[in-house]
Protein backbone atom coordinates (compact mmCIF):
# COMPACT_ATOMS: atom_id res chain seq x y z
CA UNK A 1 0.00 0.00 0.00
CA UNK A 2 0.91 3.68 -0.05
CA UNK A 3 2.51 5.30 2.98
CA UNK A 4 4.65 8.24 4.08
CA UNK A 5 7.18 8.24 6.90
CA UNK A 6 8.51 11.48 8.36
CA UNK A 7 11.12 12.11 10.98
CA UNK A 8 9.61 12.69 14.38
CA UNK A 9 9.73 16.05 15.99
CA UNK A 10 9.83 18.41 17.53
CA UNK A 11 12.80 19.90 15.76
CA UNK A 12 14.22 22.93 17.57
CA UNK A 13 16.68 25.18 15.77
CA UNK A 14 18.22 28.57 16.25
CA UNK A 15 17.44 31.28 13.74
CA UNK A 16 19.59 31.03 10.58
CA UNK A 17 20.33 27.34 11.14
CA UNK A 18 20.08 24.77 8.35
CA UNK A 19 16.93 22.66 8.28
CA UNK A 20 16.39 19.13 7.05
CA UNK A 21 13.18 17.21 7.61
CA UNK A 22 13.35 13.67 6.28
CA UNK A 23 10.51 12.07 4.35
CA UNK A 24 10.41 8.66 2.71
CA UNK A 25 7.52 7.02 0.96
CA UNK A 26 6.16 3.73 -0.27
CA UNK A 27 3.88 3.83 -3.26
CA UNK A 28 2.49 1.80 -6.09
CA UNK A 29 2.57 3.61 -9.38
CA UNK A 30 4.11 7.03 -9.83
CA UNK A 31 3.15 9.40 -7.02
CA UNK A 32 3.31 13.14 -6.89
CA UNK A 33 4.95 14.39 -3.72
CA UNK A 34 4.07 17.41 -1.62
CA UNK A 35 5.09 19.34 1.44
CA UNK A 36 2.33 21.16 3.27
CA UNK A 37 2.78 23.52 6.22
CA UNK A 38 0.32 24.16 9.03
CA UNK A 39 0.74 27.29 11.12
CA UNK A 40 -0.94 27.43 14.53
CA UNK A 41 -4.70 27.71 14.22
CA UNK A 42 -4.67 27.53 10.45
CA UNK A 43 -5.33 24.99 7.73
CA UNK A 44 -2.79 23.28 5.54
CA UNK A 45 -0.97 25.36 2.97
CA UNK A 46 0.96 23.92 0.07
CA UNK A 47 4.66 24.68 0.46
CA UNK A 48 6.03 22.88 -2.60
CA UNK A 49 5.48 19.89 -4.84
CA UNK A 50 7.19 17.61 -7.35
CA UNK A 51 5.35 15.47 -9.84
CA UNK A 52 8.05 13.20 -11.24
CA UNK A 53 11.44 11.75 -10.38
CA UNK A 54 14.36 14.21 -10.12
CA UNK A 55 12.00 17.20 -10.02
CA UNK A 56 12.92 19.82 -7.44
CA UNK A 57 10.15 21.75 -5.76
CA UNK A 58 11.01 25.10 -4.19
CA UNK A 59 9.22 27.95 -2.45
CA UNK A 60 10.10 30.60 0.15
CA UNK A 61 13.65 29.28 0.46
CA UNK A 62 12.51 25.68 1.02
CA UNK A 63 13.53 22.93 -1.40
CA UNK A 64 12.86 19.23 -1.84
CA UNK A 65 14.01 16.84 -4.58
CA UNK A 66 11.98 13.82 -5.69
CA UNK A 67 14.43 10.89 -5.39
CA UNK A 68 12.94 7.75 -6.85
CA UNK A 69 16.02 5.61 -6.15
CA UNK A 70 15.83 6.30 -2.42
CA UNK A 71 12.04 6.91 -2.33
CA UNK A 72 12.66 10.17 -0.52
CA UNK A 73 11.52 13.79 -0.59
CA UNK A 74 13.50 15.52 2.16
CA UNK A 75 12.68 19.15 2.94
CA UNK A 76 15.58 21.59 3.31
CA UNK A 77 16.09 25.26 4.01
CA UNK A 78 19.43 26.96 4.27
CA UNK A 79 18.54 29.54 6.92
CA UNK A 80 15.38 29.25 9.01
CA UNK A 81 13.50 32.14 10.55
CA UNK A 82 11.30 32.33 13.62
CA UNK A 83 8.34 32.71 11.27
CA UNK A 84 9.03 29.21 9.88
CA UNK A 85 7.86 27.69 13.16
CA UNK A 86 5.00 25.39 12.18
CA UNK A 87 4.12 21.75 11.55
CA UNK A 88 5.33 20.34 8.23
CA UNK A 89 3.57 17.45 6.49
CA UNK A 90 4.95 15.31 3.71
CA UNK A 91 2.29 13.78 1.45
CA UNK A 92 1.84 11.81 -1.71
CA UNK A 93 -0.93 11.14 -4.11
CA UNK A 94 -1.04 8.55 -6.81
CA UNK A 95 -2.18 9.88 -10.15
CA UNK A 96 -5.19 7.71 -10.67
CA UNK A 97 -8.74 7.75 -9.44
CA UNK A 98 -9.29 10.08 -6.55
CA UNK A 99 -5.86 11.74 -6.24
CA UNK A 100 -6.39 11.56 -2.50
CA UNK A 101 -3.47 12.40 -0.26
CA UNK A 102 -1.58 10.08 2.04
CA UNK A 103 0.07 12.19 4.73
CA UNK A 104 2.93 11.60 7.10
CA UNK A 105 2.43 12.26 10.79
CA UNK A 106 3.93 15.74 10.60
CA UNK A 107 7.08 17.29 12.05
CA UNK A 108 6.84 20.25 14.37
CA UNK A 109 9.55 22.86 13.84
CA UNK A 110 10.36 25.46 16.46
CA UNK A 111 12.82 28.19 15.59
CA UNK A 112 14.29 30.22 18.42
CA UNK A 113 15.46 33.81 18.04
Partner 1 sequence: DTGVSQNPRHKITKRGQNVTFRCDPISEHNRLYWYRQTLGQGPEFLTYFQNEAQLEKSRLLSDRFSAERPKGSFSTLEIQRTEQGDSAMYLCASRPGTANTEAFFGQGTRLTVV
Query: Where along the sequence are the contacts to partner 1 (CB under 8 A)?
Result: 4, 32, 34, 36, 41-46, 49, 51, 89, 91, 95, 97-106
- CA 74 – CA 23 distance, rounded (Å): 5
CB of 15 to partner 1, least distance (A): 26
The CA–CA distances, whole Å, from 50 to 5, 7, 39, 82, 111 equal 17, 20, 22, 26, 26
Minimum distance of partner 1 from residue 25's CB (angstroms): 13
Query: Smallest distance from the beta carbon of 113 to partner 1, in angstroms?
Result: 26
Amino acid sequence: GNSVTQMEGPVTLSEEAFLTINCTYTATGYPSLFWYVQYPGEGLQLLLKATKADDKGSNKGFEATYRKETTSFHLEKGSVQVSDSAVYFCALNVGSGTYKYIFGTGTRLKVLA
